[in-house]
Structure 1
Amino acid sequence: MVQRVRGLVAPGRDEPVRVETVVVPDPGPGEAVVAVQACGVCHTDLHYKQGGINDEFPFLLGHEAAGVVESVGEGVTEVEAGDFVVLNWRAVCGRCRACARGRPWYCFDTHNASQPMTLTDGTVLSPALGIGAFAEKTLVAAGQCTKVDPLAAPAAAGLLGCGVMAGIGAAINTGQVGRGDSVAVIGCGGVGDAAIAGARLAGAAKVIAVDIDARKLQAARSMGATHTIDSSAQDPVEGVRELTGGFGADVVIEAVGRPETYRQAFYARDLAGTVVLVGVPTPEMTLELPLLDVFGRGGSLKSSWYGDCLPSRDFPMLIDLYRQGRLDLDAFVTETIGLGDVELEKAFGRMEAGEVLRSVVVL
């Protein structure tokens, strides 16, 4: 039966968000309806609101979410009604060339629900990252639902759906941080702090946090950073080298997404070291590096797609670590808010000001 629920919609470029009635259809083949319990406020949602992703307004915002499967469509076997799930925005196809080569985390044909959600007048909504979870219920592809331990707190678990997974995966999956490695993380917002936590999980001996904000550096220490560098007062490349015997870090994770900080990451790594770009640049940004330096320094320059994660593998594992007290996902939840337009606009402002790691909408 078609359902009508409350949801937060971005009607046009840079227009205030507003609470609307969202029409959610019954799940079709391969689809699921999820009752959303919590959804993090991510920079990507703000980019959608500002028109920085595309202009397919109106958007149903929200994508970093956890909830309970309410119903499933024909042919769905991976989840069933009553399952507690974390939503992901890369439901792998199992058939493309990446999946066929045993690398499903690179899947080139990820998919979302086929049916649209709409406003009551029939206007089709574009769900953020194919999820649209700032709503009481949402329709997704069943492959976007990853079953995890139901005892996990929804506000914390949902953060694996985007930013926290991106950061942890940048360290563990993409950067392949190993025991005893030295790691530098440039940019200590939610993703950067998650990369710090991931590096510590992987056994890094030295984790250096780099930022221009003293508050963020303090938070980075609580996430596992062993050293901090205030790059507003000290050259970060020289600072990382001083802390690594003059050589540079084995792995440098750039969590800002700017040419200036990428160059810092490039030169702050050791010879044959690895740079991981997980910060998201804007379309107009370009990068220039001396090609001889690229050749002469060796190593790897990598980009991290969603932390190169495989949700079916990584989400349950990380939730288990959380339940064991080995991964403090609760520390990423700065505040919880309700499903309201004014509250979300204020949360966007606090996020831009660097006052929070994550605001989480709790339903």
Structure 2
Amino acid sequence: MAQEVRGVIAPGKGEPVRVETIVVPDPGPGEAVVRIQACGVCHTDLHYKQGGISDEFPFLLGHEAAGVVESVGEGVTDVAPGDFVILNWRAVCGQCRACLRGRPWFCFDTRNAEQRMTLAGSGRKLSAALGIGAFAEKTLVAAGQCTKVDPAVAPQVAGLLGCGVMAGIGAAINTGGVGRGDSVAVIGCGGVGAAAIVGSHLAGAAKIIAIDIDERKLETARTMGATHTVNAKEIDPVEATRELTGGFGADVVIEAVGRPETYKQAFHARDLAGTVVLVGVPTPEMKLELPLLDVFGRGGALKSSWYGDCLPSRDFPLLIDLHLHGRLPLEKFVTETIQLDEVESAFQRMHHGDVLRSVVML
């Protein structure tokens, strides 16, 4: 039987979000209903609200979530009611050319729920942010979007792996291939950049250079494992990175801003045969221009990192285990916990750089 629950809706471009009653249908084949316990406030949700991703309003926001499976539809075998799960927005299909070649983290046909949640009363269909819509007491997702993890973990930290923290850690470990003794520079030290620093530290990098224009973020970066910090308002970040790496540049440079200016800095701050990883999300109108001879002559690799090139079924349980054993400080990412009706104010604090992550508790 369909259920009515509260959820945070973005009604139109740039309009304030509001809490509305939404209808969650019973799960159909391959679907699951999840009772949400915690959901992080991510920049992607702000992009949805601002119309920067699509114009398919109204949106049911929220996607960095953890909760408990309440019910499942026909044919679901990987999860069952009562399982504690992290939600992901890359439910692999297992049948596309990437999956069949043993590279499911590149899956080209990821799955979402077939049914749509709706607004109570009007019946208007909602577009769930990243196919999840977890600023709600319950949500409907494809069962493959549910990844079981150890229920001993606190939901407010577990849910962060559902997007930003996984994107940053994965950019360092999965995409950038950071290894023991490497030098790493991270440009942009918000939530994703801070996670890239944590991932680099976890991988055994010898030197981790945090670059930002906000001293508050640089101070946080130091607590996350950065060995050096550079305020790009005061010092040229390319020259500073070279100076800190014997004049050569970093082995891996992770760009977590998503702007042409900072990407060029990343390109020139890497060592010969070094790697640049773009994990910051650019806007559609942005263009990049680089001398082609420099692209050729410097060698190495220029990569983009989509969701940290993660495989949720592999990476989420591993990272949760590392956290529970004290090796991955996920709790440092949680600046504050809030309620559903505080999401709009949380967006303002995030926009001004006042928080690393606000987490909605339900």
What is the TM-score normalised by the length of structure 2?
Answer: 0.99
Q: Which residue does 1:352 correspond to in 2?
A: 351
Cα deviation, residue 111, structure 1: 1.1
The yes-or-no answer on 1:263 pairing with 2:264 is: yes
Alignment-mate amino acid for residue 135 of structure 2? F
Q: Secondary structure, in 3 states, of the residue corresponding to 2:340? A: coil
Cα deviation, residue 344, structure 1: 1.0
Mapping of residues 1-363 of structure 1, within 5 Å: 1-120=1-120, 121-340=122-341, 343-363=342-362
Cα deviation, residue 329, structure 1: 0.4
5+ residue gaps, structure 1, are: none
Q: Secondary structure, in 3 states, of the residue corresponding to 1:218? A: helix
- The sequence identity of aligned pairs, in percent, is 81
Alignment-mate amino acid for residue 303 of structure 2? K
Q: Secondary structure, in 3 states, of the residue corresponding to 1:171? A: helix
> Partners in 1 of 2:80 and 2:207 — Cα distance?
43
Q: Secondary structure, in 3 states, of the residue corresponding to 1:7? A: strand
Could you give the per-residue CA deviations for residues 305-346 of structure 1, whole angstroms, max 9, x where no partner exists? 100000000000000000000000000000000011xx1111
> Partners in 1 of 2:50 and 2:69 — Cα distance?
31
Alignment-mate amino acid for residue 352 of structure 1? H
> Partners in 2 of 1:21 and 1:334 — Cα distance?
28
> Partners in 2 of 1:159 and 1:151 — Cα distance?
15
Alignment-mate amino acid for residue 20 of structure 2? E
Could you give the per-residue CA deviations for residues 147-198 of structure 1, whole angstroms, max 9, x where no partner exists? 0000100000000000000000000000000100000000000000000000
> Partners in 1 of 2:343 and 2:322 — Cα distance?
30
> Partners in 1 of 2:260 and 2:45 — Cα distance?
23
Q: Secondary structure, in 3 states, of the residue corresponding to 1:55? A: coil
Q: Secondary structure, in 3 states, of the residue corresponding to 1:14? A: coil
Work out the number of aligned pairs and report it: 361
Alignment-mate amino acid for residue 211 of structure 1? D
5+ residue gaps, structure 2, are: none
CA RMSD of aligned residues (A): 0.4
Cα deviation, residue 247, structure 1: 0.1
What is the TM-score normalised by the length of structure 1?
Answer: 0.99
Could you give the per-residue CA deviations for residues 81-129 of structure 1, whole angstroms, max 9, x where no partner exists? 0000000001000000000000000000001000010011210000000
Cα deviation, residue 145, structure 1: 0.1
